Amino acid sequence: NFLSAVVTPDEIGVKFDDIGALENVKKTLNELVTLPMRRPELFSRGNLLRPCKGILLFGPPGTGKTLLAKALATEAGANFISITGSVLTSKWFGDAEKLTKALFSFATRLAPVIIFVDEVDSLLGARGGAFEHEATRRMRNEFMAAWDGLRSKDSQRILIVGATNRPFDLDDAVIRRLPRRIYVELPDVENRMKILKIFLSQENLEQGFRYDELAKATEGYSGSDLKNLCIAAAYRPVQELLEEEEKQGASSSTPSLRHLNLEDFLQAK
């Protein structure tokens, strides 16, 4: 139960198409991971084409790093294990060695697998000097040793994807092990529009809904912020209906909700 999730590709349910924007990131991940995991034989000869062992996704909170890692597992046909750095270091006081061994032996059995380490900075952050907890230090050393110890046969089919909002906190030793670093940025206006279209595709919007206006009005929003905004806006017609019912008494027919309009979103901000 130290793992927050272990899922097979069929269960993950997220594909690259469900992620709005981030086209370059998806393309890079496909080249680096999907192909080598699906066709390892093409990467086993020579020195130039080597499967990548570790990837760091970094960027502001809520930009879709977790989502990308999950979708990547779907695309690559890999299982997906997710662990959170801060949970590991707080819970597993003293049992670092056992835990890390279990994780990696489990991963070897589940291969092909993507091990997603969220908040990788708190597990593998810069050495904390005198104030660092002994358990954290042990955990990190164990993790790195197990990682390095993956036999080359396994390493082709086990990929570690770390995510962080604080890349500058990472230790050099970690940076070296995550040779590919990919910046996951906040969406610009065009990309906010793409993301909004994904979230709102099934919603009851007014005719000619101005996605462009909404995208313009949400400068600085992450994908996650946009999702929360859409949820808050979608509540407004429901709220109104409930208030109306309160005044008039519920009608016996099925209530019909009005269309969502731009104002709902602007008011929900």
Which residue ranges make up the site for ligand ATP (CB under 6 A)? 19-22, 61-67, 118, 163, 165, 195, 198, 223-224, 227
CB 178 to ligand ATP: min, Å = 16
Contacts for 248 with CB less than 8 Å, ≥ 6 apart = none
Q: Measured from the CB atom, is 143 or 221 closer to ligand ATP?
A: 221
Six token digits for residue 88: 């590991």
* Block residue for tokens 């060695």: 97
CB 118 to ligand ATP: min, Å = 6
Q: Measured from the CB atom, is 123 or 146 closer to ligand ATP?
A: 123
Q: Measured from the CB atom, is 138 or 192 closer to ligand ATP?
A: 192
CB 156 to ligand ATP: min, Å = 26
Measure the CA–CA gap between 196 and 200, rounded to whole angstroms.
6
CB 59 to ligand ATP: min, Å = 7
Burial of 215 (0-12, 13-18, 19+ CB in 10 A): buried
Six token digits for residue 51: 């499967």
CB 160 to ligand ATP: min, Å = 16
Q: 6 has which bridge partners?
A: 81
Name the residue number minimizing CB distance to ligand ATP.
223
Q: Measured from the CB atom, is 231 or 242 closer to ligand ATP?
A: 231
Q: Measured from the CB atom, is 32 or 229 closer to ligand ATP?
A: 229
The Cβ of residue 86 has, within 10 Å, a number of other Cβ atoms equal to 12
CB 75 to ligand ATP: min, Å = 15
CA angle 188, 190, 194 (to 5 degrees): 110
Q: Measured from the CB atom, is 62 or 162 closer to ligand ATP?
A: 62
Q: Measured from the CB atom, is 22 or 124 closer to ligand ATP?
A: 22
The number of residues making up the chain comes to 269
CB 228 to ligand ATP: min, Å = 8
DSSP per residue over 179-194, as a string? -EEEE-PPP-HHHHHH
For residue 114, what is the enclosing H or E element?
Answer: strand 113-118
Measure the CA–CA gap between 61 and 243, rounded to whole angstroms.
35
DSSP per residue over 123-163, as a string? HHBS--GGGS-HHHHHHHHHHHHHHHTS-HHHHTTEEEEEE
Q: Measured from the CB atom, is 71 or 111 closer to ligand ATP?
A: 71
CB 169 to ligand ATP: min, Å = 14
